[in-house]
Amino acid sequence: MPTPRRSHHKSRRGCAICKAKRIKCDEKRPCSYCAKRRLPCSLALAPTPMPLALASLPSPGSGTSSSISEMKATRPHVAPPFTSTDFGLFRHFTDFTALAHADDSASEMVWREAVSDLATRYPYLLHEVLAIAALHRRTTAPEQAAVLERTAAEHQAKAIPLFREALAANSTETALPLFACSCLFVPYHFAAAKNASALLFNEETGSLAEWLGLIQGCAAVTVEYNDTIMQSPLRALLGDLYAPRVQDLGGGPTDARLVELGNKLPLTPGCREAYAEVIVKLRVCYYLSDNADSSLNRKNAALRFPPIMGQRFTEDLASRSPAALIVMAFWCVLLHRVEDRWWLKGRVKPLLLKIGGLVPFEYVHLVEWPMEQVASV
pLDDT in tens, the chain (377 residues): 555 554 444 455 677 677 766 778 888 878 888 777 666 676 764 333 333 333 333 343 444 333 334 433 433 434 446 788 899 999 999 999 999 999 999 999 999 999 999 999 999 999 999 999 999 999 999 999 999 999 999 999 999 999 999 988 888 999 999 999 999 999 999 999 988 888 888 877 778 888 888 888 778 888 889 999 999 999 999 988 788 888 888 877 899 999 999 999 999 888 999 999 999 999 999 999 999 999 999 999 999 999 888 888 999 999 999 999 999 999 999 999 999 999 999 999 999 999 999 999 999 999 999 999 997 65
**Confidence at residue 141, expressed as pLDDT on a 0 to 100 scale:** 94
- Per the confidence metrics, is the pTM higher than 0.85? no
Taking the C-alpha atoms of residue 219 and residue 301, their distance in angstroms, rounded to an integer, is 15
**Confidence at residue 36, expressed as pLDDT on a 0 to 100 scale:** 74
Taking the C-alpha atoms of residue 294 and residue 198, their distance in angstroms, rounded to an integer, is 30
Return the closest-CA partner of residue 328 out of 359, 300, 301, 298: 359
Return the closest-CA partner of residue 307 out of 287, 291, 336, 284: 284
Return the closest-CA partner of residue 371 out of 352, 357, 345: 352
Residues linked to residue 201 through DSSP beta bridges, in sequence order: 208
CA 215 to each of CA 64, 218, 248, 304, 312: distance values in angstroms, whole numbers, following the listed order = 47, 5, 28, 10, 16
**Confidence at residue 50, expressed as pLDDT on a 0 to 100 scale:** 32
Taking the C-alpha atoms of residue 184 and residue 178, their distance in angstroms, rounded to an integer, is 10
Write down the domain spans for the chain: 101-237, 246-375
Indicate the residue type of 244. Answer: P
CB neighbours of 260 closer than 8 A, spacing ≥ 6? none
Taking the C-alpha atoms of residue 320 and residue 324, their distance in angstroms, rounded to an integer, is 7
283 contacts 249 by C-beta, under 8 angstroms: yes
187 contacts 215 by C-beta, under 8 angstroms: no
**Confidence at residue 233, expressed as pLDDT on a 0 to 100 scale:** 94
